[in-house]
Amino acid sequence: MTTALTSTSWPAALTPEQLAIVDIPTPFLITDLDAVARRLAAFRSALPGIQPFYAMKCNPSPEILSTVRANGASFEIASLGELRMLERLGVDPAEVLYSNPVKPPSHIAAAYAAGLWRFSFDSPNELRKLAEHAPGSAVYLRLHVDDADSAFPLSRKFGAEPHEGSDLLVLARRLGLRPYGITFHVGSQCSSTDAWRQAIDTAGKIMASLLDEGIRLEMLDIGGGFPARYAGDVPSIEEIGAVVMAAIGDVLPYQPGLLAAEPGRHLVAEAGVMAASVIGREVRGGENWLFVDVGAYHGMMETIQLPEGWAFPVRTSVTASGSASVIASAELPFTVTGPSCDSSDTMFYGLSLPAAIDVGDVLYIGSAGAYTLSYASDFNGFPPPTPLFIGG
């Protein structure tokens, strides 16, 4: 049974009592921008000297982008569309990393024309595209590293094998490009601090081998994967930072001029709470079902992406002894599903909720600030959550 938990990650400014006074229809996603700023400050403190480049794909809301920018972060993009969003906010493309290893030629050319000069790659084919559409640009190699301890491994789709690394960066120089750096990604929501150490060690070996070719790299980008807290424990940013900083000092043959990272989920997930109203309660085959007005296709896509599901912290508006409570005096397990006619639009199984919950009550889903609005659609005619912001 999945239990609705009180998570220490829940923003203090977004308790059910406080959210009850929000006078707009559900669903809505409310984000505490001050919480985002605090997360970024903690990240920088745990990883001193490492510049964060916010991975904007996880939440590209202008309010989020403005907050991380105001607090000293740069940006990492995956498309020309994301670059255009940043340009509208006044961000200089020269300060942006384009870390998608496989890019449309037209996006490369347009980004280069706008002044972006650093591009990732993981193959000879991508290098040839870059040489044609962004001649002379700086390129950084995306490595395939062990991401087995992450919720969403990425290595099947991206990453050159370590034994190819030196040759690829030498090829970049031969094609008139600037061998600039190395990056990797230990997988989204990584639960192993050692994953970063192993990846940094691999990068260090390539850096050392390149010295024989007269190539000294200018950047090491330790990528993303920094976890957020949902309904279970994950390594703290302080624990990850201790491992990363020790590895940088221990295993690199030299320290590049730029140490970078690409946090996304870690900065914004815990700052957001999704509010969804109960629109139906039924019994199906002996199971208690709750139908709510937000589903997988309207922002909660991650709940259906893993075979074992995804346990978000959940609170409700149902009261016990006159105050909003996580666990009322009596509970039942519920299957919680979205509003659409698609049966796969089901988010939680065996979620323990107050037995009295019924139509008109509200579920508050915590740690909902990442990969929710960016995934949300109006599938079946149901609108995405309304974005709201406090603080900042």
Looking at the annotation, which residues are catalytic? 341
Task: Give the span between the Cα atoms of 295 and 55, in whole angstroms.
Answer: 24
Q: What does the CA dihedral 194, 40, 56, 88 come to, rounded to 10 degrees?
A: -160
Cβ(288)–Cβ(296) under 8 Å? no
Residue in 44, 73, 45 with CA at minimum distance from that of residue 59: 73
Q: Which residues contact 254 (CB under 8 A, 6 or more apart)?
A: 207, 216
Cβ(182)–Cβ(206) under 8 Å? yes
Q: With 0-12 CB in 10 A as exposed, 13-18 as middle and 19+ as buried, what is 172?
A: buried
What is the CB-side half-sphere exposure of residue 339 using CA atoms within 13 A?
A: 21
Residue in 42, 98, 52, 48 with CA at minimum distance from that of residue 73: 52
Q: How many residues does the chain have?
A: 392
Task: Give the span between the Cα atoms of 153 and 245, in whole angstroms.
Answer: 23
